[in-house]
Amino acid sequence: MQPLLALIGLFNNRFNATTHFPIKPDTLYQPNLYFLQLGGKRIRPALCLMGNELFNTINNDAYEVAAAIELFHNFTLIHDDIMDVAPLRRGMPTVPAKYGNNTAILSGDVMLVAAYEKINKIDTKYIHTILKIFNKTAQQVCEGQQLDMDFEKKKEVTLPDYLEMITLKTSVLLAASLQMGAVLGGASEANANLLYQFGINIGLAFQIQDDYLDAFGEPEKFGKKIGGDIIANKKTFLTIHALETANPQQKEKLEFLLTTTNDSQEKVEEVVQIFKECKVDEWANSLKQKYVAEAYKSLEAVAVLNNRKQALKDVAVYLLEREH
Amino acid sequence: MQPLLALIGLFNNRFNATTHFPIKPDTLYQPNLYFLQLGGKRIRPALCLMGNELFNTINNDAYEVAAAIELFHNFTLIHDDIMDVAPLRRGMPTVPAKYGNNTAILSGDVMLVAAYEKINKIDTKYIHTILKIFNKTAQQVCEGQQLDMDFEKKKEVTLPDYLEMITLKTSVLLAASLQMGAVLGGASEANANLLYQFGINIGLAFQIQDDYLDAFGEPEKFGKKIGGDIIANKKTFLTIHALETANPQQKEKLEFLLTTTNDSQEKVEEVVQIFKECKVDEWANSLKQKYVAEAYKSLEAVAVLNNRKQALKDVAVYLLEREH
């Protein structure tokens, strides 16, 4: 099994050398080429290759599905950036900011269609299974994004609600990437499902980490401004747990702070102070560990030689031990 | 071969009795259910069934692909209504007008995914071919919509440019509906391609008719206000030909009229007057007849008994002899 970075390299070599779109009309396709060349970590396609290599040498179908996954992921980012009115992504103008909302809708649509054409290239033997997983996942990612938008308008979001949203918006695609790779490697349904569970739990742990770093990360390592979620009044694992455990005074103050439009450092510090008083940091770490343990349990149960699993364990470490 | 209206009825019986979406989150799926129950002519899925029945008794795969086509068509309408800032469709609020642009983006996205899940239900034997046609068509429809938006900003649009845009935006889906039905009925590639050509030409003739009726239709029969395209300064077969054949004075006046924001009846009448002076009405009718003749030529060449083709000929009449 090759490590994550090697698989990312293998994927990028092929993906970046492939013509994914026609040239004309360039008003439709140029935005997609622009967005793809902004790069990205390519974690999801690499997970597809890794799921594949766990059971076999990496085959061509795995590369096609990995490309479909990456195109799908980019399609969701383009459309999300419209909904979020996001000016920047990866430090550069988003597609809607650069080309307008209408073109961003259409370019995203045609990117999704291109993803399905990649799937159409795989062996007939697997196409129904892969399409079924891919469609279900795509549907769930849309559901997750809708729930995320719904939560912005909701006063109270419970932890189970938030877990469901994160599972749909983030975890299922990581999980399905591993699962589809495994299916194409000839894995049994049981083994492919265990990898899926591994992905779901890693995804949840990753999101807890992400929420945690926004409040407790070290700015110079985190790479972005601390407290971005707090300034945006975003619901996160931290705010949800704080509101559930705060005393009435803390709760009142937190609710007040998280409804003001105020991007001051004082607001961030006051919110983080309440988080600390409510021991949200300790709670978040232990919840993260719970999901990591669940993930490892699923990985242990996959019926392949233990030493083949090292790269997957390293992925968990890579995603979760990061401080940025 | 059953006539168009019978096939529309058969399709609607199944389509309307099918659960296309989960219930939750209803913020995502309710807009799609709302939009689907607004109805529509269901011409495209009926053409798929008709293409199928030309070669065989209608099979289950044809119903699945017909449903995929109808979901795809509705997806494009939902996204088009965002881009066009359209308040009404079929006399009722559009999805973006009723639920907001963000939900309309996502509900449209998930409708497209649902279309692909219908395709996933067909016989493995046909899935690569159908996916290939479907993906190519979906891509072309996006290209057509982008070109349509591009043309709004362009001063000069030539007839070949406009024909390409209409082919992509309107004709290819009608054509592919027939073709996919034929493929699923066991038609040879040659016969399926002839039906595709029939659809392309009928689509062009239909659009000429549509543009013609906007300027020359009788209001009480046309069902919508005459001159809607003129008021919106839309480029149509009529404006393009008029600008190509007008004398300098007519051209100057027409260009002036078609850049003003003026929804008066006088503007409509003045533009129609120039159309008449340039004999645009005669030209449009003869161009329409040219495409109808091309369509019939392709249909004649399809290697099935002539009396089986009657329903398809009737479709052309239904679409083209209408005055509304």
Residues of B with CB under 8 A from a CB of A: 25, 27-28, 79, 82-83, 101-103, 105-106, 108-110, 112-114, 116-117, 119-120, 124, 127-128, 131-132, 135, 138-139, 142-143, 145-147, 149-150
Contact A211, A178 (CB under 8 A): no
Q: Name chain A contacts of B142, Cβ cutoff 8 Å.
A: 28, 106, 109-110, 113
Choose the closest CB to B146 out of A106, A124, A146: A106
Q: Name chain A contacts of B138, Cβ cutoff 8 Å.
A: 110, 113
Q: What is the pLDDT of residue B22?
A: 96
Beta-bridge partner residues of B92 = B89
Q: Cα–Cα distance between A272 and A235 in angstroms, integer?
A: 14
* Count of C-beta atoms within a 10 Å radius of residue B253: 15
CA dihedral sign, ordered A104, A143, B70, B215: negative
Angle at CA B165, nearest 5°, toward B162 and B168?
A: 150
Do the chains contact at A25 and B114, CB–CB below 8 Å? no
Do the chains contact at A103 and B28, CB–CB below 8 Å? no
Closest CA to A77 of A64, A89, A67, A66: A89
Closest CA to A268 of A228, A303, A240: A228
Lookup result for tokens 């479909």: A68
Amino acid symbol at A259: T
A126, closest residue in chain B (CA to CA): B124
pLDDT band (50, 70, 90) for residue B118:
very high
Contact B159, B241 (CB under 8 A): yes
Q: Name chain B contacts of A20, Cβ cutoff 8 Å.
A: none
The pTM score is 0.96
Q: Name chain A contacts of B147, Cβ cutoff 8 Å.
A: 25, 27
Beta-bridge partner residues of A93 = A88
Contact A32, A106 (CB under 8 A): no
pLDDT per residue of chain A (324 residues) written in tens, 0 to 9: 899 999 999 999 999 999 999 999 999 999 999 999 999 999 999 999 999 999 999 999 999 999 999 999 999 999 999 999 999 999 999 999 999 999 999 999 999 999 999 999 999 999 999 999 999 999 999 999 999 999 999 988 999 999 999 999 999 999 999 999 999 999 999 999 999 999 999 999 999 999 999 999 887 665 667 888 999 899 999 999 999 999 999 999 999 999 988 888 899 999 999 999 999 999 999 999 999 999 999 999 999 998 899 999 999 888 887 655
B64-76 confidence digits (pLDDT tens): 999 999 999 999 9
DSSP conformational letter for B93: E
Choose the closest CB to A28 out of B102, B119, B143: B143
Q: What is the pLDDT of residue A261?
A: 87
Q: Cα–Cα distance between B135 and A77 in angstroms, integer?
A: 21
What is the percent of chain B with per-residue pLDDT over 90, rounded to a whole number?
88
Choose the closest CB to B147 out of A25, A135, A146: A25
Buried b (16+ CB within 10 A) or exposed e, A2-11: eebeebbebb
Contact B53, B1 (CB under 8 A): yes
Q: How many helices (H) does chain A have, and how many strands (E)?
A: 17, 2
Buried b (16+ CB within 10 A) or exposed e, A279-299: ebeebbeebbeebbebbbebb
Closest CA to B235 of B200, B211, B260, B262: B211
Min CA distance, A78 vs chain B (Å)? 11
Do the chains contact at B142 and A106, CB–CB below 8 Å? yes
Lookup result for tokens 């996204």: B79
Please compute, for residue A83, the number of CA atoms within 13 A of its CA located in the half-sphere on the CB side.
24
Chain-centre distance of CA B258, in angstroms?
25
